[in-house]
Amino acid sequence: MINGSISFWYQETGIPPLRPPLRETLDADVCIVGGGFTGLWTAYYLASARPDLRIVVLEKRFAGFGASGRNGGWVTGSVPGLRSRYAADRGRDAVVAMQRAMNQTVDEVISVSGAEGIDADVAKGGVLHVARSPAQLRRLRDQLAVEAQWGNTDVVELSAEEVAARIRVDEALGGSYSPHCATVQPAKLAQGLARAVEGKGVTVYEDTPVLELRPHRAVTPRADVRARWVLRATEGFTASLAGLRRLWLPMNSSIIATEPLSEAEWAQIGWEGREALGDMAHAYMYVQRTAGGRIALGGRGVPYRYGSRTDADGSTPQRTVGSLREILAAMFPSLRGARIDHTWSGVLGVPRDWCATVGLDRVTGLGWAGGYVGTGVAATNLAGRTLRDLVLGEDSELVRLPWVDRQVRRWEPEPLRWLGVHAMYAAYRYADARESRTAGPTSGVATVADLVSGRR
Ligand SMILES: Cc1cc2nc3c(=O)[nH]c(=O)nc-3n(C[C@H](O)[C@H](O)[C@H](O)COP(=O)(O)OP(=O)(O)OC[C@H]3O[C@@H](n4cnc5c(N)ncnc54)[C@H](O)[C@@H]3O)c2cc1C
């Protein structure tokens, strides 16, 4: 089993040769810091709208090094964050508009990938959520009622038989299906996008860590970029920038990828529709059937490292691999002996209020987008189009979405941050284990953990 090496997705594609670093101070119109999906989509839409702009991307390692090249590949229409919280600030209609925009974004990602000739193994199979305990089933039904309130009226409940007709998940008591999700090979999408933005005249500097963001300036060890607009697109790595340590908490997520499964194994499982697959556990997991016939299954491992440290190459503790393997075997007992070929981890950004944000300060020229709380593959595209409109001063529907210019308080100093996150995930593990043993309702322990951590 390969452990780390960025991700299985890069094992498939190979890590591309590095682009040259920034060596000399230069002037630009727009300087984007971070070459993940946020940075690349922003560059893409700005360069498409205004080919005359001088746009540069500064990337610490290489484009797609972070979560964008490591994720579970769900291009989901989920609104990143708590819709009720956005609504409390900006009203229900704004959230319904955001949900509609997110659903459309799934198709936007697919359509731009097609138009740019990016072959990212895209499959639009929707998303199937399964409930594997009575408490999970109750939460799933509550969730369905909530979806309709936000205008997501095409999410449907499935009986246990209907779930099995799609994917035979052991002990599934029922499920829900939404058409608003596709799956991709994320490293292929990130690399294809980097090439597409270069094709539009954007310069991507790799091996170029930004140390500090100042008004109209990004500072790197060798040289600076002076620009009218400096846009931060560093998500889970934001804590490493001067002055931003407690802004967004870097949360880890880990994935295992099985060997390619045989036709006989697939025949037992079904899964011909290439749906993304998730469950209703508190310590949520996410799965895709890859184009190469493997299962990639992700979930929480060690959720957070002391002092907001982030890893370098995705290496994953053995006990995390063990717990993800257990989830795989519980869902698909016939795969208990399946070989795991690769495991890796990545880091995502969590704001204190668990809601994503996009913004631009017209005085300092500093902009930002991120804090997608684990659902950023599609949301980064919407954020990129929104940043485009903010930079260009367009009074569009996008700049009125409820995540624009959201101000949030910072996370607590250590050791409170570490203790809080670890206690929350211990509570979720306890609640999940208890719910799977009993027929009772949602465990009160999980509800308290949600309230204390700010997830409700
Ligand atoms: C394991 C895992 C699974 C996930 N699964 C899903 C999923 O299935 N669906 C979904 O919607 N979301 C998922 N997510 C979340 C999603 O991947 C992210 O929200 C999204 O990729 C964020 O993109 P980004 O460009 O904002 O950040 P990143 O992709 O992390 O990019 C940030 C970039 O900034 C660079 N950088 C950092 N610091 C500096 C600096 N100082 N100077 C210059 N460059 C810097 C980094 O090297 C990196 O390339 C997952 C995340 C992880 C970690």
Q: Is 210 in the pocket of ligand 1 (CB under 6 A)?
A: yes
- List the single range of 6-10, 289-293, 307-311, 332-336 with lowest mean pLDDT: 307-311
Angle among Cα 161, 163, 169 to the nearest 5 degrees reads: 105
Cα first-last separation, the chain: 38
- Give 17-68 pLDDT, tens digit per residue: 999 999 999 999 999 999 999 999 999 999 999 999 999 999 999 999 999 9
Residues 181 and 125 sit within 8 Å (Cβ to Cβ): yes
Average pLDDT of the segment spanning 249-260:
95
Residue-level pLDDT at 409: 83
CA 377 / ligand 1 centre spacing (Å): 9
Question: Average pLDDT for residues 388-404, to the nearest whole number?
Answer: 98
User: What confidence category does residue 443 fall into, taking pLDDT thresholds of 50, 70 and 90?
Assistant: low
Q: Which atom of ligand 1 lies nearest, measured to the CA of 344? A: 1
* Predicted pLDDT at 162: 98
> Is 60's C-beta closer than 6 angstroms to any atom of ligand 1?
yes
* Residue 299 beta carbon below 6 angstroms from any ligand 1 atom: no
What integer is the mean pLDDT of 382-398?
98
Region 279-286 average pLDDT: 87
Task: Give me ligand 1 centre to Cα 65, in Å.
Answer: 8
- Residue 74, pLDDT > 90, answer yes
167 CB within 6 A, ligand 1? no
* Ligand 1 centroid distance, CA of 66 (Å): 4
Amino acid 441: pLDDT? 67
CB of residue 251 inside a 6 A radius of ligand 1:
no
Give the whole-angstrom CA distance, residue 361 versus residue 11: 40
Look at residue 407 in the predicted model and tell me its pLDDT: 84
Mean pLDDT of 180-189: 98
Task: Establish whether residue 68 lines the binding site of ligand 1, counting it when its CB lies within 6 angstroms of any ligand atom.
Answer: yes
Measured by CA distance, the residue closest to atom 20 of ligand 1 is 376
Share of the chain above pLDDT 70, in %: 92
In order, the DSSP letters of 176-216 are: EEES-EEE--HHHHHHHHHHHHHHTT-EEE-S----EEETT
Q: Which two tokens stand for residue 85?
A: 């919280």
pLDDT class of 321 with cuts at 50, 70, 90: very high
In the chain, how many H helices and how many E strands?
A: 12, 19
Question: How much distance in Å is there from the Cα of 297 to the middle of ligand 1?
Answer: 18
Closest approach atom of ligand 1 to CA 220: 42
Tokens of 28: 């630009």
| Residue of 15, 41, 207, 348 with the most ligand 1 atoms within 8 Å of its CB, for mutation | 348
Q: Highest mean pLDDT: which of 144-148, 231-235, 407-411?
A: 231-235
What pLDDT is recorded for position 103?
97
Per-residue pLDDT band for 447 (boundaries 50, 70, 90) equals low
- Residue 272 above 90 pLDDT? yes
The confidence score (pLDDT) of residue 445 equals 60
Q: Is the CB of residue 303 below 6 angstroms from any atom belonging to ligand 1?
A: no
Distance 177 CA to ligand 1 centre (A): 26
Over 70: is that where the pLDDT of 446 sits? Answer: no
Ligand 1 touching residue 381 (CB < 6 A): no
60-73 pLDDT tens trace: 999 999 999 999 99
Res. 346: pLDDT tops 60:
yes
For ligand 1, say whether the CB of 238 is within 6 Å of any of its atoms: no
Q: What residues contact 35, with CB distance under 8 A and at least 6 apart?
A: 57, 58, 59, 62, 63, 64, 65, 194, 204, 206, 233
Supply the pLDDT for residue 412.
73
Query: Among the atoms of ligand 1, which is closest to the Cα of residue 370?
Result: 26
Task: Report pLDDT for 166.
Answer: 98
Find out whether 211 and 220 touch, Cβ atoms under 8 Å.
yes
pLDDT at 63: 98
Q: Please report the sign of the dihedral spanned by the C-alpha atoms of residue 256, residue 261, residue 267, residue 273.
A: positive
- Beta pairing partners, 323: none
- The whole model's pTM is what? 0.95
Over residues 285-314, mean pLDDT: 85
Beta carbon of 365 within 6 Å of any ligand 1 atom: no
For ligand 1, atom 34, the nearest C-alpha belongs to 34
Nearest to 185, CA basis, from 298, 339, 108, 70: 70
415 upstream amide cis, omega within 30 of 0: yes
Q: Which two tokens stand for residue 203?
A: 């310069």
360-373 confidence digits (pLDDT tens): 999 999 999 999 99
